[in-house]
Amino acid sequence: MRRKLGRYLFLILVFAFICTGTAYGADSLDEVRSLIQTRFYQDVNEDVLTKGSAQAMVEALNDPHSSYISPEDFKDYLSSLDGNYVGVGMYINESKGQIQVVRPIPGSPAEKAGLKEKDIITHINDKDIKGLTSSETAAKVRGPEGTKVKITVMRGGQTLYFTVERQTIEIPSLDYRLIGTEVGYIQLYSFSSNSAQEMSDALKDLTDQGMETLVLDLRDNPGGLLNTAVEISADFVPRGPVVHVVQKGDREYTLRTFKTPYGIPVAVLVNEGTASAAEILAGAIQDAKTGVIVGSQTYGKGSVQTIFSLSDGGGLKLTTAKYLTRGRQDINGKGLTPDIMEADENKQFEVAVKKLGSEMPLFDVQMAVGSKLVFVDDQTFELPVSPYMEKGTVMVPLRQVADYLGGDVRWENGTIVLASPTGNYKIDSVSKVIKSAQGEILGQGAIKEGTTMVPARVLADMMGFKIGWHQKDQMIYLYDE
């Protein structure tokens, strides 16, 4: 099972800054024309500049990362950069001319409706989206809270239809925890306006907990704000260049860090979904040789987009530059090549920990409330349902966690049976009461999203394992003494 834990913006590219376009004239068409002439990173033909609408002009650039954003959508668009928006809760991206779901946020309306990673979106509200950019598609998915949107996707040759209710989506920048007693783990979801502070806080907390090495997970991170990538890089690379930005006419400037990094050994996990600002951060670490990159080839987005506010209330997202990494790697269309190639995402954490030289023991199973990501020894997997708290009890998926601990769950005449080293246990399919072979009631199970959930402490006892709880991080761990 591949490790997939994430959250959603829609598509995030690298953003340089937000500025006003009103200096370019009162009419948005003139503003867009002037911005394209002066700020687009390449020269354009005259026929592009004579198009009759702002949207047509931008489309004529044939740049998948540039788009005109209508006044109706621009306010929501800017809100999403701060980590909040109204939508269905999924990442989307452009792949080979199609709009693909990167992943839905765990617990989001999109996930609950059944949308999955690698679904290809074909229609929104029964309207074909062929030719639309990911930003334009995202704008059609968004809408007033409480309203519904119909999303049509292709999955394995099948056409599937989903009706999803829009909700306010709050997006945390990252998730972190201590694995075992010494290995820090930070999964950075994107580069929004609050990400640098969240990263600083996470590093401080993990250091206070005794972190000696760090695994930084940038898998499926689609990028975000350029200045945020530079700020976060300062925690990991020495003072000096982070990224070189090349504008129209080969004008170049360099963004630098002036901080002293933590200096902790770090391994960075990447995959084909690692893009944009995430590639800047990973590239800076790789070029500075302050960490090792583990995983598969990254996405390869080496361009910079700037957001301009227009006088009509709309916005223009325009590719204004390309970038080179700290060591002047040009990754556009190619991506970063990891120092250690490992295609199996379940094994990447193990490879990273071993490369960091950590030989300390890890817990047998480690989970956190609200997160589907589970660490099993030194591998990572995804649970079908996140552990959750109910009346002070942490509930976990029975079948998967029992399997990780060496148990066997099966059906027998309408009853779930767990065979473990300490004996056989039964969970009645109707009452969900957990009983020993002698009929002793041990606890109460539950069903969530079609998955049998049981109290973690009861499961640990049945499997003969010890259990621990870390209150601050809402983390639970099971270990065999």
Cite the active site residues. 276, 287, 301
Nearest to 15 by CA among 87, 65, 68: 65
Q: 15: Cβ–Cβ under 8 A, 6 or more apart, which residues?
A: 81, 224, 225, 226, 305, 306, 307
Joined together, the tokens standing for residue 165 give 């209710």
With vertex at residue 132, the alpha carbon angle to CA 131 and CA 136, rounded to the nearest 5 degrees, is 175
Main-chain phi, psi angles of 255, to 5 degrees:
-95, 130
- Going along 45-137, which residue ranges are E strands? 67-69, 84-87, 90-95, 98-104, 120-124, 127-128
Main-chain phi, psi angles of 440, to 5 degrees:
-70, 130
* Whole-number Cα distances in Å, 307 to 23, 66, 75, 85, 444: 15, 10, 12, 17, 53
**At residue 50, what is the residue type?**
T
List, as one string, the DSSP characters of 98-109.
EEEEEEEPTTSH
* Whole-number Cα distances in Å, 318 to 10, 36, 230, 283: 17, 8, 20, 23
